[in-house]
Amino acid sequence: MELENFADEFGPEYVIEVYDKKVGLKGVLVIDNTNLGPGKGGIRMTPTVDVTEVFRLARTMTWKNALAGLPFGGAKAGIKASPEDIKNKERKKALIQAFSKALKPVVPKLYIAGPDINTGEEEMKWFFEANGNWRACTGKPANVCMKLFGKGGEKCGIPHEYGSTGFGVAHATVAAANHIGLDINGAAVAIEGFGNVGTFASKHLSDFGAKIIAVSDSKGVIYNEDGLDTKKLYNIKQRTGSVVNYKPGKVLPNKEIFELPVDILIPGALPDVITKDNFDKVKAKIVVEAANIPTTPELEEIMHKKGILVVPDFVANAGGVISSYAEYRGYNPKKMFELVEQKIKRNVKIVLERAEKENVKPRDAALKIAKERVGKKLKH
């Protein structure tokens, strides 16, 4: 990678490539910016991960953490791993622990790890055990407690299975609806993706009175204009492997979820799903980007000019990183959810008001705020 094509006054500060011949480890850590605190970002394990991808993700984390108002900088890590490495528990553990041991000089002082693609609570347990410091990573199993304040039976780790990102997306959606004067009670919502983010977003929005009329997974879309029962939908997904087996409802091809007559559209799974081929078919008044990069800034600009309110990804899906901060501080899950709600509501409101005042799209306003927050602490 040609880092000079990306490097600017904000970073990256460190690019650390890790090799361990004994276990066949090839890993990379990019610490983009530590002006607000240690760099925070997950570790992904894929066959194709490279330094360019990791840098781009680290930069996104710089903005996400700054905008969320957290004392964290931006970072990201990647381990090159074959599908066989990822499936084999012993092999995976060896790679994670070798990576952790190699990064001891900078963890947790300059970098705090977390879960990402193909890493979860078990991998975080391995990572912090190899490092020896409870604060080496977040997303640890709920029963892992720091000796300093952990009591028997208390839940201290906050794995992503708690659904903090989806919970935050639901609150971001309500804040956006309030901004344009749309009553969330009875508002029609379509959610692309029914994984960790989509399931929790649909549950909480349903609790707030929204009408979830369409949900998709890899098998297709289930659509019912009278609304879907999210609890029943979750049970059917668990039992049969897909939301399309829900009844009553109409099964549609995946691409049609973006074209339905809804008030709110939530792309919550794949990148690049709103494209030049379908953006003009979006009928929603609000698009809440629960997934990372579901469209391009250029298409966001066109939708903005058409009067569609687009809540950008690093604003809408910051619940996960706010939850990470709560765990880092040793908060319990109850306090974590309170913090996510408070910060997401406040930040979405600030971003949307700034965008309206300056007549720019919300992404531009959000980036401007994030840069101001990081810039205030830029080292000279």
- Per-residue pLDDT band for 141 (boundaries 50, 70, 90) equals confident
Q: Please say if the pLDDT value at position 279 is more than 50.
A: yes
Same domain, 173 and 320: yes
- Per-residue pLDDT band for 144 (boundaries 50, 70, 90) equals confident
Chain-centroid distance, C-alpha 327: 16
Q: Is the dihedral of CA 364, 370, 375, 379 positive or negative?
A: negative
User: What's the domain count of the chain?
Assistant: 2
pLDDT given at position 378: 59
DSSP one-letter string for 99-120 = HHHHTTTTTTTTEEB-B-TT--
> Where in 139-200 does DSSP place strands (E)?
188-192
In a domain, 83, yes or no: yes
Same domain, 116 and 213: no
From 132, 161, 27, select the one nearest 85 (Cα to Cα): 27
CB 198 within 8 A of CB 192: yes
Q: pTM for the complete prediction?
A: 0.88
Segment (H or E) for 95: helix 89-102
In a domain, 380, yes or no: no
- Per-residue pLDDT band for 146 (boundaries 50, 70, 90) equals low
- Per-residue pLDDT band for 160 (boundaries 50, 70, 90) equals low
Mean pLDDT in residue range 121-144:
91
Same domain, 122 and 232: no
- Per-residue pLDDT band for 161 (boundaries 50, 70, 90) equals low
Same domain, 254 and 319: yes
Q: Which residues are catalytic?
A: 76
Mean pLDDT in residue range 357-370:
96
- Per-residue pLDDT band for 143 (boundaries 50, 70, 90) equals confident
The CA distances from residue 264 to 211, 231, 287, 289, in Å, are: 10, 20, 6, 11
The CA distances from residue 88 to 45, 85, 101, 118, in Å, are: 13, 5, 20, 12
Range scoring the smallest mean pLDDT among 15-29, 286-300, 322-336: 322-336
User: Domain of 32: which CATH number?
Assistant: 3.40.50.10860
DSSP one-letter string for 343-367 = HHHHHHHHHHHHHHHHT--HHHHHH
> Where in the chain does DSSP place strands (E)?
14-20, 25-33, 39-40, 43-46, 73-80, 111-112, 188-192, 211-217, 220-223, 250-252, 264-267, 286-288, 309-311
- Cα separation, 176 vs 308, in Å, equals 11
Radius of gyration of the chain (CA): 20
Q: Please say if the pLDDT value at position 147 is more than 60.
A: no
In a domain, 378, yes or no: no
In a domain, 265, yes or no: yes
**Given the structure tokens 């995976």, which residue do they identify?**
92
Same domain, 113 and 239: no
Mean pLDDT in residue range 265-287:
95
Burial (CB count within 10 angstroms: exposed 0-12, middle 13-18, buried 19+), residue 292 = middle
Same domain, 142 and 174: no
pLDDT given at position 333: 85
- Per-residue pLDDT band for 229 (boundaries 50, 70, 90) equals very high
Q: Mark which of 157, 179, 195 sits at the end of a domain.
A: 157
In a domain, 377, yes or no: no
CB 293 within 8 A of CB 316: no
Q: Please say if the pLDDT value at position 149 is more than 60.
A: no
Same domain, 324 and 221: yes
Q: Please say if the pLDDT value at position 150 is more than 70.
A: no
pLDDT given at position 293: 87
pLDDT in tens, 341-358: 999 999 999 999 999 999
246 phi and psi angles, rounded to 5 deg: -70, 140
What rounded mean pLDDT belongs to the chain? 92
User: Domain of 171: which CATH number?
Assistant: 3.40.50.720
pLDDT given at position 156: 66
- Cα separation, 173 vs 286, in Å, equals 8
Same domain, 130 and 183: no
- Per-residue pLDDT band for 55 (boundaries 50, 70, 90) equals very high
Q: Please say if the pLDDT value at position 152 is more than 80.
A: no
pLDDT given at position 331: 86
Same domain, 240 and 311: yes
In a domain, 191, yes or no: yes
pLDDT given at position 113: 97
- Per-residue pLDDT band for 380 (boundaries 50, 70, 90) equals very low
Range scoring the smallest mean pLDDT among 1-10, 128-137, 311-320: 1-10
Structural domain of 333 = 164-372
- Per-residue pLDDT band for 1 (boundaries 50, 70, 90) equals very low
pLDDT given at position 7: 84
- Cα separation, 115 vs 156, in Å, equals 16
pLDDT given at position 86: 96
Mean pLDDT in residue range 259-282:
95
pLDDT given at position 271: 85
Q: Is the dihedral of CA 96, 98, 101, 105 positive or negative?
A: negative
CB 346 within 8 A of CB 72: no
Same domain, 193 and 316: yes
Secondary structure of residue 310 in the 3-state scheme:
strand
Mean pLDDT in residue range 158-179:
90
In a domain, 379, yes or no: no
Q: Mark which of 110, 128, 157 sits at the end of a domain.
A: 157
pLDDT given at position 337: 94
Q: Please say if the pLDDT value at position 121 is more than 60.
A: yes
Same domain, 130 and 211: no
pLDDT in tens, 63-72: 999 999 999 9
pLDDT in tens, 87-97: 999 999 999 99
Q: Please say if the pLDDT value at position 179 is more than 90.
A: yes
Q: Which residues contact 177 (CB under 8 A, 6 or more apart)?
A: 183, 184, 187, 263, 264, 286
Same domain, 136 and 179: no
Q: Please say if the pLDDT value at position 190 is more than 90.
A: yes
In a domain, 76, yes or no: yes
Q: Mark which of 94, 122, 157 sits at the end of a domain.
A: 157
- Cα separation, 34 vs 187, in Å, equals 41
